[in-house]
């Protein structure tokens, strides 16, 4: 990703676009010498010397694209009079951004699929391990460890689908002239508009796009950037949410991210196991999730056919968006590939809460013995408050069930008490929900990424 958005990659892509334009114009009848094409083709990758030439020229001209045109003309003198023929600066700048965004999307999609696959395997492994659910961050009805991971998967799946959609919808700007009127190309082709259509078809084929946007101004509409940002940056919010859950679970000592043997958690407190990867992802996710505000402002303040206040900010925002997403996914892959679960801690917390949750089952069992529910409710209420006092005021463990077993009122169900607090009685349909989702919708989506996932697995095994 860093290489993609490098200065050399950008400058070389400009040169590639000029070569494609010259080749297409020659194919459509313009008199461009073969030597010019050959020299352009031989000098696509920008050398350090070419950078120096462009930098020196830009210091005088204050125009980056014309400086690059001049630099390429120095490298390919036979082509100097044909480089950028009929084009405006946005022919190279905008088409390059579209090429870069498409390549960047192609880089992050398989990485996102890999994270989903990690969590798919994790969810299936722990699909039937009971754990406390939390609403309002207070103990709630039981779920399973795998069910919670399936929720994370579903949110990442939404990101995957949204990013796939903007990738599929991405088009090329092509050669449209200074205000999108195609006037310069109409002049070059002596009024033959069909050649402009053909020109853009050739350019699209060379660049690997299916089509150009039907309407362009001097630029492609900055709505495209916003559309891409809305999809990519939403990943930041998802990553932040997932890693916040992991950080809370680490505090509860139920689950934590990988912690290496020689890793140091704190410079002062040697015992600490800080969830630093999840914290890093949370920080980067927060930054990424808020970038669409910049893309929104850039889009909504474009006046008429174009203003230049979009240029500097996009040179920061577009690379930053993809570098953030890439870094988040690389780290999230590491975290989700090595999540550690502590079953005994999970069970200990269940034992503290299950007696309260089992009270309804106890009431139902008593009713089968002809005991009034209202009377039973009052008896269990009193004992529950006593047990709660032991937990909250005395710091003791939940002894509600022991109290029930010692209270004569509950004698009809004493023998059934222990069977009523098996955690698996309280997880509902969680295992099937996880299996159906992971083997169904998730597996179907991941099938499209099989090749990249297989490569990732092979690379992981070799490390």
Q: Is 136 a catalytic residue?
A: yes
Phi and psi at residue 258, to the nearest 5°: -60, 140
**pLDDT tier at 463 (50, 70, 90 boundaries)?**
very low
- Report whether pLDDT(140) > 70: yes
> Which long-range CB contacts under 8 A does 290-293 form with residues at least 24 apart?
290/233, 290/236, 291/229, 291/233, 291/236, 291/317, 291/320, 291/321, 291/324, 292/226, 292/229, 292/230, 292/233
How many other C-beta atoms lie within 10 A of the C-beta of residue 349? 16
Q: What is the pTM of this model?
A: 0.92
For residue 337, the surrounding DSSP H or E stretch is none
Q: Give residues with Cβ within 8 angstroms of 321, minimum separation 6.
A: 229, 232, 233, 288, 291
Task: Give the model's pLDDT for residue 269.
Answer: 64
Q: How far is CA 34 from CA 31, 113, 206, in A?
A: 9, 45, 18
The residue annotated as part of the active site, out of 210, 266, 348, 457, is 266
- CA 144 – CA 129 distance, rounded (Å): 5
**Average pLDDT value over all residues in the chain:** 94
Query: Could you read off the pLDDT of 63-110 as tens digits, one per residue?
Result: 999 999 999 999 999 999 999 999 999 999 999 999 999 999 999 999
The conformation of residue 27, written as its DSSP 8-state character, comes to: H
Residues 6+ apart with CB under 8 A from 56: none
Cβ neighbours for 226, distance < 8 A, ≥ 6 positions apart: 292, 295, 296, 298, 299
Q: Annotated catalytic, 71?
A: no
Kindly name the residue from 3, 31, 136, 194 that is annotated as catalytic: 136
Select, from the ranges 137-141, 278-282, 419-423, the one with the highest average predicted confidence (pLDDT). Answer: 278-282
Q: Are domains 90-341 and 346-426 of this chain identical in fold?
A: no
CATH number for region 7-85: 1.10.275.10
Share of the chain above pLDDT 70, in %: 96
**Average pLDDT value for residue range 32-48:** 98
Q: Where are the alpha helices (DSSP H) in 178-271?
A: 183-188, 193-207, 223-252
How many other C-beta atoms lie within 10 A of the C-beta of residue 416?
14
CATH number of 346-426: 1.10.40.30
Across the range 255-274, mean pLDDT stands at 70
Q: Is the pLDDT of residue 360 over 50?
A: yes
Domain locations along the chain: 7-85, 90-341, 346-426
pLDDT band at 271 (very low <50, low <70, confident <90, very high): low
Domain 90-341 CATH assignment equals 3.30.390.50 = no
Tell me what pLDDT residue 76 has.
98
366 pLDDT more than 50: yes
Mean pLDDT of 340-352: 94
Q: 211-247, pLDDT tens digit by residue? A: 999 999 999 999 999 999 999 999 999 999 999 999 9
């Amino acid at each position: 990703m860093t290489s993609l958005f490098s200065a050399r990659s950008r400058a070389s892509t400009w040169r590639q676009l000029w070569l494609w334009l010259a080749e297409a114009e020659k194919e459509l009848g313009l008199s461009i010498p073969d030597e010019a094409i050959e020299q352009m083709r031989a000098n696509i990758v920008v050398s350090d010397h070419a950078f120096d030439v462009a930098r020196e020229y830009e210091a005088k001209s204050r125009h980056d694209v014309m400086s690059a045109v001049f630099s390429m003309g120095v490298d390919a003198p036979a082509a100097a009079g044909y480089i950028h023929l009929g084009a405006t600066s946005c022919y190279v700048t905008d088409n390059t951004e579209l090429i870069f965004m498409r390549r960047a999307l192609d880089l992050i999609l398989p990485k996102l699929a890999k994270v989903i696959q990690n969590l798919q395997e994790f969810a299936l492994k722990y699909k039937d391990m009971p754990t406390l659910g939390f609403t309002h961050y207070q103990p709630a009805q039981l779920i399973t460890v795998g069910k919670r991971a399936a929720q994370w998967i579903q949110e990442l799946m939404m990101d995957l689908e949204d990013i796939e959609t903007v990738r599929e919808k991405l088009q090329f700007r092509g050669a449209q002239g200074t205000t999108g009127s195609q006037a310069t190309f109409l002049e070059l082709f002596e009024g033959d508009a069909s050649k402009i259509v053909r020109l853009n078809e050739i350019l699209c084929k060379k660049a690997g796009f299916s089509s150009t946007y039907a309407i362009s101004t001097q630029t492609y509409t900055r709505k495209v950037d916003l559309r891409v940002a809305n999809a990519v940056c939403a990943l930041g919010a998802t990553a932040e949410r997932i890693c916040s859950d992991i950080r809370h679970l680490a505090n509860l000592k139920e689950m934590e991210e990988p912690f290496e043997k020689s890793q140091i958690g704190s410079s002062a407190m040697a015992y600490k196991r800080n969830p630093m990867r999840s914290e890093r992802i949370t920080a980067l996710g927060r930054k990424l999730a808020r970038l669409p505000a910049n893309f929104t402002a850039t889009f909504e303040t474009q006046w008429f056919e174009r203003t230049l206040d979009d240029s500097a900010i996009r040179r920061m925002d577009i690379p930053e968006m993809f570098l953030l997403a890439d870094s988040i996914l690389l780290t999230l892959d590491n975290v989700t590939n090595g999540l550690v679960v502590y079953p005994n801690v999970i069970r200990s917390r269940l034992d503290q809460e299950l007696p309260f949750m089992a009270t309804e089952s106890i009431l139902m069992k008593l009713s089968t013995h002809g005991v009034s529910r209202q009377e039973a409710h009052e008896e269990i209420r009193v004992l529950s408050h006593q047990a709660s006092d032991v937990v909250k005021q005395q710091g003791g463990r939940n002894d509600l069930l022991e109290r029930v077993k010692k209270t004569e009122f509950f004698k009809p169900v004493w023998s059934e008490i222990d069977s009523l607090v098996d955690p698996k009685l309280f997880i509902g349909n969680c295992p099937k929900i996880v299996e159906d989702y992971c083997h169904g919708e998730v597996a179907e989506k991941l099938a499209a990424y099989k090749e990249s996932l297989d490569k990732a697995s092979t690379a992981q095994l070799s490390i």
